[in-house]
Copies of this chain bind each other. A is one copy, B any other.
Amino acid sequence: MDPKLLEIYRCLCDETRLRLLHLLKQGPLCVCHFQTILDVPQVAISKHLAYLRQHGLVTAQRHEQWMIYRLSEPSPRELHLQLQCLQDCVQAYPVFKSDLRRLKTLRRDCGWVAEVASPKNKGGRGKRMPAACCDK
């Protein structure tokens, strides 16, 4: 059996990874933002992101000192369906809601996040990330 679907499910059966994917569904993010939002030790975030990367769900790209993670594009059909379903399921769980709330705050306060998340406004693309990212 094509391992894809199983791989996806294995990626989805950890709370931290669910939260990471849920956030990534809103747009690319760097590790330090995940740390801020999830309030989980750096090493855990990093390892879970590595896991997701090894299984092809996300890709990473260095930008100066920061690693930017985003969902794989183009996403295979199963992944797309699963992430949509996750999105629907997650409504009832407070953690995900508060993650979203924190993400919005970050977007407001950190020019960079807002910009990468919705790349329509390209003014200053890649130039607005402050020294410690968003003055974290």
Contacts and interface: CB of A to CB of B under 8 A. Distances in A.
Interface of A: 1-2, 5-6, 9-10, 12-15, 18, 77-78, 81-82, 84-85, 88-90, 92-95
A6 B2 CA distance: 23
DSSP class of A's interface residues: helix, strand, loop or mixed? helix
Contact of A15 (B6, B12, B89, B94): B6
A43 B68 CA distance: 46
A58 to B, nearest CB: 17
A75 B118 CA distance: 37
Contact of A90 (B5, B92, B94): B5
A93 B81 CA distance: 15
Q: Tell me how many chains of this kind the complex includes.
A: 2
Contacts of A81: 85, 88-89
A5 B93 contact: yes
Nearest to A80: B89
Nearest to A88: B81
A18 B6 CA distance: 9
Given A10-B13, A13-B10, A89 B5 contact: yes
Contacts of A95: 1
Nearest to A3: B15
Contacts of A82: 85, 89
Contacts of A13: 6, 9-10, 12-13
